[in-house]
């Protein structure tokens, strides 16, 4: 899906539900890092982690063209990196590349794929395979998945910058610029810096619940994106991206319109995504918390 297609939905000049939610997210984050952290640090950390999750989901909403029609105005709303690690510009560019549905799950062409080329897999050391197998369980994805993702982004971007990709250097420079006020806020907030770092990691861990199986290896591109139907808290934190097949079909549709749109076309999307469906995230936890859903090497790519 091209960026132009992702921006093609008809929208009002201001999408108030999204704008209000962004402002509320910052307000709750501020309260969590100050008042709640001083009241009881574990509570402050838990709420901070959830705001980091929500803020990342809002960044995802922004990169698809919400809540304003102007890209610069949208991106200014999510400029501050509450999650500490990922430059927004990198997230935007990688995610829009991920929306080329014909490349979904490809180890090389899909930047968000968790699959590996089988020819690379067979050359890994035993300990590396063990780590990646652990990462393919939901528990492992939540515990070590954020660290692995951060390491891969830092390593690839550092090497690309050394090769002269100045666009990446600009994205990281802007990230550092936005990081300064976040760190300064935390340092005077009453929440220890270590606690904020742990909270940010926790927020990324919650996000891994959404991304864990939202795509599968399938011969047909439209059958690669999941629908997770039930629940309230996690779908809200993920801004209804549990209806991921719908999002990939209509990437410009605002988060608050997705559920009603899906309900009127449920059978259509069940056919469209070849029945890739879970009733809730609780079902996913029951099935895959300590058991891998997929192999690490891509099952549809040749081994030699």
pLDDT tens string 149-186: 999 989 999 998 888 888 899 999 999 999 999 999 99
Q: What is the pLDDT of residue 167?
A: 84
- HSE at residue 83, side-chain half, CA atoms within 13 A, is 27
Q: What is the pLDDT of residue 166?
A: 83
Structural tokens at position 21: 């939610």
What span, in angstroms and rounded, lies between the C-alpha atoms of 181 and 82? 10
Domain boundaries, the chain: 3-288
Q: What is the pLDDT of residue 302?
A: 75
Note if the pTM is more than 0.75: yes
Instruction: Write the secondary structure of 19-45 as one string of H (helix), E (strand) and C (coil).
Output: HHHHHHHHHHHHHHHHHHHHHCHHHHH
Flag residues of the chain having pLDDT under 70.
1-10, 304
Q: What is the pLDDT of residue 11?
A: 77
Structural tokens at position 244: 């991921």
In sequence order, what are the residues at sequence separation of 6 or more whose Cβ sits closer than 8 angstroms to the Cβ of residue 44?
Answer: 32, 33, 35, 36, 37, 38, 191, 195, 199
Whether omega for the bond prior to residue 278 falls within 30 degrees of 0, making it cis, is no
Torsion angle, alpha carbons of 18, 20, 25, 27, to 10: 170
What span, in angstroms and rounded, lies between the C-alpha atoms of 61 and 59? 5
Q: What is the pLDDT of residue 27?
A: 98
What span, in angstroms and rounded, lies between the C-alpha atoms of 295 and 277? 19
pLDDT tens string 252-286: 999 999 999 999 999 999 999 999 999 999 999 99
């Amino acid at each position: 899906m091209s960026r132009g297609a992702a921006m093609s939905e008809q929208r009002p000049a201001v999408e108030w539900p999204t704008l209000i939610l962004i402002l509320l997210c910052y307000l709750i984050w501020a309260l969590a890092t100050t008042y709640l952290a001083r009241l009881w640090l574990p509570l402050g950390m838990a709420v901070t982690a959830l705001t980091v999750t929500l803020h990342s989901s809002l960044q995802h909403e922004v990169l698809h063209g919400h809540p304003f029609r102007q890209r610069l105005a949208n991106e200014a709303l999510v400029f501050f990196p509450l999650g500490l690690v990922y430059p927004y510009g990198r997230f935007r560019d990688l995610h829009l590349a991920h929306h080329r549905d014909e490349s979904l799950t490809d180890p090389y062409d899909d930047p968000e794929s968790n699959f590996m080329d089988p020819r690379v897999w067979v050359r890994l050391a035993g300990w590396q395979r063990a780590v990646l197998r652990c990462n393919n369980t939901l528990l492992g994805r939540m515990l070590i998945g954020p660290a692995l993702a951060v390491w891969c982004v830092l390593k690839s971007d550092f090497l690309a910058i050394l090769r002269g990709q100045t666009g990446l250097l600009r994205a990281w420079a802007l990230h550092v610029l936005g990081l300064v006020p976040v760190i300064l806020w935390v340092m005077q907030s009453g929440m220890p810096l270590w606690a904020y770092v742990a909270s940010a990691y926790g927020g990324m861990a919650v996000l891994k619940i959404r991304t864990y199986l939202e795509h599968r290896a399938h011969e047909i591109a439209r059958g690669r994106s999941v629908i997770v139907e039930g629940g309230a808290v996690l779908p809200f934190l993920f801004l209804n991206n549990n209806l991921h097949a719908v999002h990939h079909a209509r990437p410009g549709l605002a988060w608050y319109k997705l559920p009603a749109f899906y309900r009127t076309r449920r059978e259509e999307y069940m056919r469209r995504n070849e029945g890739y469906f879970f009733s809730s995230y609780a079902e996913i936890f029951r099935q895959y918390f300590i058991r891998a859903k997929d192999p690490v090497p891509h099952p549809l790519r040749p081994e030699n």
